[in-house]
Amino acid sequence: MRSNYLFTSESVSEGHPDKVADQISDSIVDLFLSKDPEARIACETLTTTQLVVLAGEIRCKGVYENGAWAPGAREEIEATVRNTVREIGYEQDGFHWQTLRFENNLHGQSAHIAQGVDASGNKDEGAGDQGIMFGFACDETPDLMPATLDYSHKILERMAADRHSGAAPFLEPDAKSQVTLRFENGKPVAATAIVVSTQHAPGYDTGDKEAELHAYVKRVVAELLPAELLSDATVYHINPTGSFEIGGPDGDAGLTGRKIIVDTYGGASPHGGGAFSGKDPTKVDRSAAYVTRYIAKNIVAAGLARRCTIQVAYAIGVSSPLSLYVDTHGTGTVADDVLEAAVAKVAGARLGGLTPRGIREGLGLNKPIYKRTAAYGHFGRTADGDFFPWERTDLADALKAALA
């Protein structure tokens, strides 16, 4: 591992067109799981000027069964989509929750996929797809996340809160952030560059109004980043193109699953390639990525490593993972193969051996908890009742006991 370097991560706001698509897809996941905890959902969303299109495969009791929609189901789906756009804050000529065109192209799940995934007879529930999934944690922040990404998320989350509350009425929903930190001996010591591009009300690209917006952004950064990281040498790029009035789906088309690095670890960790939003938890793209974060975070929280990467792999229709890999990047207190054996032992006892069913039941994933994940990262969030259960650190003692 290099000890001295610059590293950068970015985030995008809830109003970014790709994130609008993610939130719509996950609002559909939540709607279906609220009706049927065993629902199967693969919902993709396209957003562009005054248009939202849904496509994908579904199966849900009381909504879509045997190739037919239940009475009122299509209307409820459309209302859910429009309400999601309204909550984000889009009431613009080019994208308005009330007047946008809506297309619903969801249809039934493939019977061939269903027979591989569903439990039947002596066959356990299989993985919803093949693939590799990674989880990661490090001690750079209290959230045990890469600092560059953690701060990028928090800047935009604060700006969105101020927009919704009216504290920053000049802000519009679309925004992006980027944080570059200098690391010495593997620890962040200085913010060298901060980039924030935010959609704004007319007139906030010149004169006193532009100065007001710039001062606001710098104040948010100062309140969120540790003071020792900021100095006169920190370079700010705030709306570097000049004007940013046209944004959101009107400025650029959005698609579900196009911000997977923003969703995970900001480039600080490998990524399996599968997106999360729009998928029910039988899809290991989602559930296994959550459980590997859970394990990695608990390893770091237990003091067993400063950095940890976990990988698992699955085959469609097969319940048990094909492999489990643990890498503590030279920071572990025990050998990685010893820790790997402890993870397998604890996972077997607590999480059904990392089978799709074991993960879903062990973490309580068959619930409508996903819309909140679809902006500002799926990881580094606060576990809150049923929400973000993979952020709990209640596995740490079991891991330490397995190594005793």
CATH number for 226: 3.30.300.10
Tell me how many degrees the CA angle 266-268-272 measures, rounded to the nearest 5: 80
Residues 292 and 389 in one domain: yes
User: Confidence band (pLDDT; 50, 70, 90) for 159?
Assistant: very high
Q: Is 218 a catalytic residue?
A: no
Q: Is 297 a catalytic residue?
A: no
Is 371 marked as binding a ligand?
no
Catalytic residue (one of 87, 124, 252, 336): 252
CB-based burial of residue 144 (10 Å sphere; 0-12 exposed, 13-18 middle, 19+ buried)? buried
Is 279 marked as binding a ligand?
yes
Q: Is 283 a catalytic residue?
A: yes
pLDDT for position 123: 52
| Spatial contact of 162 and 319, defined as CB atoms under 8 Å apart | no
Report if residue 319 sits inside a domain.
yes
- Which residues span the domain enclosing 158? 5-12+147-247
Residues 237 and 287 in one domain: no
Is 258 marked as binding a ligand?
yes
Is 26 marked as binding a ligand?
no
Residues 211 and 175 in one domain: yes
Mark which of 191, 225, 247 sits at the end of a domain: 247
Report if residue 359 sits inside a domain.
yes
User: Confidence band (pLDDT; 50, 70, 90) for 74?
Assistant: very high
Q: How far is CA 96 from CA 50, 85, 90, 155, in A?
A: 7, 8, 5, 25
Residues 285 and 397 in one domain: yes
Q: How far apart are CA 107 and CA 96, in angstroms?
A: 26
pLDDT for position 66: 84
226: which residues sit within 8 A by CB, 6+ positions away?
A: none
Catalytic residue (one of 82, 153, 163, 258): 258
Residues 285 and 391 in one domain: yes
Report if residue 34 sits inside a domain.
yes
pLDDT for position 119: 58
Report if residue 260 sits inside a domain.
no
Residue 118 has pLDDT above 80, yes or no: no
Q: Is 44 a catalytic residue?
A: yes
Catalytic residue (one of 190, 253, 302, 402): 253
Q: Rg for the chain (alpha carbons), in Å?
A: 22
Catalytic residue (one of 40, 59, 82, 259): 259
- pTM for this model (two decimals): 0.95
Q: Is 253 a catalytic residue?
A: yes
Report if residue 373 sits inside a domain.
yes
Residues 213 and 288 in one domain: no
Could you tell me the two tokens for 402?
Answer: 């397995």
